[in-house]
Amino acid sequence: MRESRSPTVNTHYMKAPNSTRQPNPVSHFIALAMVIIAPVSATAQTPVQPATSTANAQIVGTPLSLDDAVKMAEGQSEAVNIARAGVQRSEGQVMQARSQYFPQISGSGSYTRTLKSQYSGFGSTSKDTTTKVVSPPGPCDAYLKDATASVADRLAGLEESSRCSLGLNPFASLSSLPFGQANVYSLGLSFSQSLFTGGRITAQNKAAAAGAQAAKIELTAQRAQIILDVTQAYYDAALADRLVTITDASFTQTENVLQQVQLNKNVGNVSEFELLRAQVTRDNQRPQVIQRRGDREVAYLRLKQLLNIPLEQPLTLTTSIEDPSGLPAGIQLTGLNVTSYDAPDTVASHRAAVRQAGEAVRAQEGLLTVARSERLPSFSLTSQYGGVAYPTNGMPTRSDFRANWTVGVAAQIPLFTGGRLRGDEMVAQANLAESRARLQQVREFASLDASVALNALKQAMSAWEASKGTSEQAAKAYSIAEVRYREGISTQLELNDSRILLEQSTANRALAARDLQIARMKLALLSNLPLQSGTSAQSTTQSQTQQQSTQQQSAQQQSTQQQAQQGTSANQQIPPGL
């Protein structure tokens, strides 16, 4: 029998050992012609395919780069706004503590209108409560001698005046007192200055300053965390885009194989079993396309939520996931300066959590001093100045006010508190011991976290280097498998296996690129990042879910491949014409 050989097939491509069919030259020529014409006719018919459906395709929207996303992140983050409010609160506490060093001066003023007084009506039926001075009626006033009278006359006049006054109102002298006056105006100033407090004020200022510094560190940490979260969300969305592109290409490949098998079936070169297997392979690819599109939608929603972008607004990511220079060139914020991704700061004492724990220790030391100062006496200088006026009617004048000014020194010392001071000191000592233990614990966690971050970078770098060239080799192998299958010297099983390897290698390349970019960003922000973050964990969990989904789909494809191998074994017992 004369062997038919196509001029496009290289001599080093060996014929598959399980191939039992011999291509007919005439039918082979017709099949090749129909393959060439098939794309044109397929385009004219516009079949509905998930890979090219305009309803499921990502709509071109507002372009967004990673630099733009990072710049938008800080102003749109609720966590950053909460941390900024904490800084403002701590600055207010510092001002409260510092104010105790300065004198406290306050003013007061009041007006009182007496409607009915208990001091009115003594000795007479008159309701008049004015303070008008009335001269004694005669003849009592005649006994008062002037200064030119002799001593004997003056003494005699006083005795007569005293006997005369016994018959008058005994409460008449009360009319000159301020009791029960109808109008009372009072103005006052008070002054107080602490002289000695046993170190309490200094310790309170120390604790407040430590709290303010910890709040500033927290603000920087939240800024760094939101940058990392946005970077993760951005690359998760870019990875989802890439995986959708891969599954669409894989679906297109299975669709093309199905069309080719259909043409070969029409000319009688393949069996109906191979046509059914090609249809099943194409249909099994549809759920993967749907799942990838759903994952992409969730990734985009997560990114929009972080940036406070309307969820219905479409986005187009412009930063490539495989671009090594895709990270922002420089991140400069208050207390945060990242300009190099190649020399990260991994010193444990420089971590934000360690610095916050150190400030907490200093704050507790100040509070312990405050508790101990309560046992010591405290001295303060006080002064009161007041002016009171009792006008008979209308507004008072300056001459109506009577001044009262006092200055004093006040001392206060606890004598017996029932154990309250001892209890306060014990609580402060326990808080200080706890804060020191937490500082040591955080140092250890920071060292461990830095080692894990470095290991993650090395692992991502190794995966990235290992994936170099693999996707190109897989694409080349698939193109060779297409030629071999088209020329009839390989099976559909070999073509499906090459397609699966191509999809896996391309997806692994995209995953390695995503992990490498995030590992670099995390190390660059490591000194300012908190040790734990629920948002970061959520994004990491999403990435792990995508990786698990990829692994499950690969396992599903391998299971389908094994079933196809079993079907091939069974098909070898069936004649090609059936």
The b/e string for 59-69 (b: 16+ C-beta within 10 A; e otherwise) is eeeeebebbbb
In the prediction, which pLDDT does 328 show? 60
- 538 belongs to a structural domain: yes
- 9 belongs to a structural domain: no
In the prediction, which pLDDT does 162 show? 67
In the prediction, which pLDDT does 83 show? 92
**Is residue 428 a contact partner of residue 200, using CB atoms and an 8 Å limit?**
no
Domain containing 318 — which CATH number?
1.20.1600.10
- 526 belongs to a structural domain: yes
Q: Which residues of the chain have pLDDT under 50?
A: 1-58, 125-126, 129, 131-134, 333-335, 339, 533-578
Structure tokens at 566: 């079993």
Angle, helices 200-266 vs 470-486, to 10°: value is 10
- 153 belongs to a structural domain: no
- 301 belongs to a structural domain: yes
- 44 belongs to a structural domain: yes
* Beta bridge mates, 380: 194, 410
In the prediction, which pLDDT does 117 show? 78
Q: Classify the C-alpha dihedral 497-503-505-508 as positive or negative.
A: negative
Query: CA torsion angle for 39, 41, 45, 51 (degrees, to 10)?
Result: -10
Q: Give the pTM.
A: 0.67
Cα 150 to the center of its chain, rounded Å: 99
In the prediction, which pLDDT does 370 show? 93
Structure tokens at 4: 């038919």
* H-only helix segments in 46-137: 66-76, 78-98
User: What range does the domain containing 457 cover?
Assistant: 25-97+201-358+437-571
In the prediction, which pLDDT does 166 show? 55
Domain count, the chain: 1
3-state class (DSSP) for residue 379: strand
Residues 6+ apart with CB under 8 A from 465: none
- 525 belongs to a structural domain: yes
- 182 belongs to a structural domain: no
